[in-house]
Structure formats: structure tokens, C-alpha cells
Amino acid sequence: MIDLKLLQKDFDGISKKLMRKGVDAKLLEKVKIKFEELKEAKAHFETLQAAQNAMSKEFGVYKREGKDVSELKKKVDENKIRIADALEVQRLRQEELEALAMAIPNIPDDDVPDGEDENDNVEIKKVLTPREFSFTPKEHWELAEQNGWIDFERGVKLATSRFSVSFGMGARLERALINFMLDFNRERGFEEVSVPALVNRKALEGTGQLPKFEDDLYKVEDPELFLIPTAEVPLTNLYQDEILTTEELPKTMTAYTSCFRKEAGAAGRDTRGMIRQHQFHKVELVSIATPGESDIIFENMVTCASDLLTALELPHRLVTLCTGDLGFSAAKTIDLEVWLPGQNKYREISSVSNTRDFQARRAKIRFKNGKKNELVHTLNGSSLAVGRTLVAIMENFQNEDGSIDIPEVLHPYLGM
């Protein structure tokens, strides 16, 4: 959640920053009205409280002077009821303001480029040169079916569209990638963690998926739980409602999980293959840091994901997301896009974001800075999406006869 005190202090300035991210001016106007209503409710309460204090002092004077206090007592009792009502109105106005604020995304960093969508993202650099093929490279679903690695039809039979089943080397390669990624991240200083695949509403509110993106989540009832869309949710919320010490920070973690998304907003996109599945595997990086070190950790996380792709010999590029493509919770994001020769384009395989104190404010994650408690900064990034990495290997390491070579760093994980 954004800092409401900051928004109230500089409403016009912060509103301009939020509108760079596409926030509707009408929503901000509603927030402004709620600020005024809350201000009026507080002023009314304070007026009644001041009157109560004055009458209490007068009550003491009456008693000392032996005056009749019955009429004054009646006024005091009546004012107590008005105070209780005013306090309830103030509480409701605060709740209404915070409910509106939950729908407002994070403020983009000043250096995030302006833009409307992914076409306005800014390339930072390319890493490795794409291979030149002496034949027309096939797309991954053709290679997957030809080699018997992935069966899309049986995935539909077991569940519905956008599910698949991996067989043989396809399944083994997925497992090898997961183990390689976790080992690689651990060697870079990220502690391996195993987390639940189901979380409660509070956890998803903490990282910003709820309430805005509930339609994209798979939900179970009694008790109400949600299948995680990313390991970012449980990893970040491990420290929900906690005050950490400076010595404990930064916390840098990595985890493998299956992830579940309805892809409600992706109808008609990437309907073939493994690019956009309802269930997919991912290795995640999450860091919890002091504000002073979050920028350095952000760069370290981007470098870690890029070096992982380089180790797999996969050409890729780094792009800074523009304001229009920036995620709800992110203040700044760098995407890593891997080269897919079958599609003849770069496609996102990792997204590394610094959310500043946005998630920490929602999840109440703080650290003790001297005598003060301050909000931490939280960061997250894919390292990497396993299915998309498998896709990239198939397309980049294919041979003319349709067979697929295996990156050398994975040989030990496959007994090769």
C-alpha cells in the first residue's frame, strides 16, 4: 500500500506520479474526498472530546462549591454517547480510505521510463549472440511432440486447456533445471526455503495480488485458501507482522514451487505450447532488505538471473519496464527476455522487481533502526520460470533432424 501520509502531504505531486502508471484520476479524486471526510470526522471527535474535558473540569468545580451536578452530569453522559458515535464514524472513514488505497498501485521510481505497454520498454543490453541456423528452426511445441517430451492433449484430458504432461527426458530436464537453479542461487548467497503452495487471504493482500487480482487466482473453500501464483507470496509473508533486527538483514531467499494462475486476462494469447500455462514450475528469488541496501540487492538479483541464463548458454536481453507495463506492486522492474529462434523474438523469462516499502506496509514487515521501527524494502524475481527455460533450450539447442542437445552445465544433473 502506498504511504497515505505522503499522498495527503503532496497529493498533486504523488497523483502525477501515479497517473504515469495509468491510475484513474477519478479513483484519486475519491481518495481525496475520503481524506476530507476523515479529517472532518477527526475534527468532530476532537471537538466533542474537548467539550467533555471542559465539562469534566466544570464537574469538579461544581462538587467543590457544593452545586447541583445533576444537569451537568446529564450533559456529560449525553456527550459520551456522541463521542462513541463520532469515534465509530472516524473508524469507518479510516476503513473506507484504506479500502480505496488497497486498489492504488505502487508509485513508480522517477527513473522508470514513461510508456503505455511492452512496446515502450527500454532495452538495457543483450547477452550472448543468437545462433545462426542452417535450417528453419521449429517452435517448441513441434519439438516437444516430436521427441515425446511433452503431451499437450493428455494435459487437456486430465484438466483443461493450458495444462500439459511431461514425459521421459522432458520430465527429467525439468527436474534437472530446478536443481541446477536452486544450487546456482544458493551459491550466490540465497538461502533455500520450502514453502506451502496454499496461502491465506492476508498473505496475498500483503504482496498485492488481493484484492485487485482475485479473478486470476485459484481458490479453495473452508478454510479459505488460495493456490499461490508465485513463491514471492509465501516467501515475503514469512516475516509478516514482524519487527526484524538490522543484523538479520538482508534476508535473501530462493524457493522452487509450482505456481497456479487462471490467466484470466490472457484469453487468446499463447494458446499453443508452454509459454502461458495454468500450472507451471518456477524458481524464485526474494529479498528483504533495509532501504539503504535495496538498490544494490536489486542489481545483484538481476545479475544472478542473467548469469544463470548465460550458464545455460541461452541468449537473452535485459529491458527496463515502462510505467504502463509495470506491475501493481513494483516501483521498478527489469525483465530478462530469452531468445526463441522458433518464434524469432525475445520472450520474458524472468522479471525482477523492487517494490520499495509498498508490500512491507501492507504486510507490516519492519526492522528496528536504532530506536525507530521502519518499514523494510522487499524485492522479488524469477530465477527462472522452468517451463520457459525448457522451451528456450528446445528451440536454441535443436538440430535439423529435430533432436535436441543438452546444455553442458546440466549434464551432471542428468547423469550424462
* Residues noted as catalytic: 261, 276, 348, 351, 388
Q: What cell was used for 366? A: 519492519
Query: Do residues 170 and 181 make contact, with C-beta atoms less than 8 angstroms apart?
Result: no
CA distance 92 to 106: 24
Query: Do residues 107 and 331 make contact, with C-beta atoms less than 8 angstroms apart?
Result: yes
Query: Do residues 375 and 268 make contact, with C-beta atoms less than 8 angstroms apart?
Result: no
Q: In the chain, how long is the greatest CA-to-CA distance? A: 108
Which one, of 46, 86, 128, 132, lies nearest residue 316 by Cα?
A: 128
Structural Rg of the chain based on CA atoms: 27
Cell 530469452, located at residue = 338
Q: Which residues of 60-85 are buried (b: 16+ CB within 10 A; e: fewer)?
A: eebeeeeeeeeebeeebeebeeebee
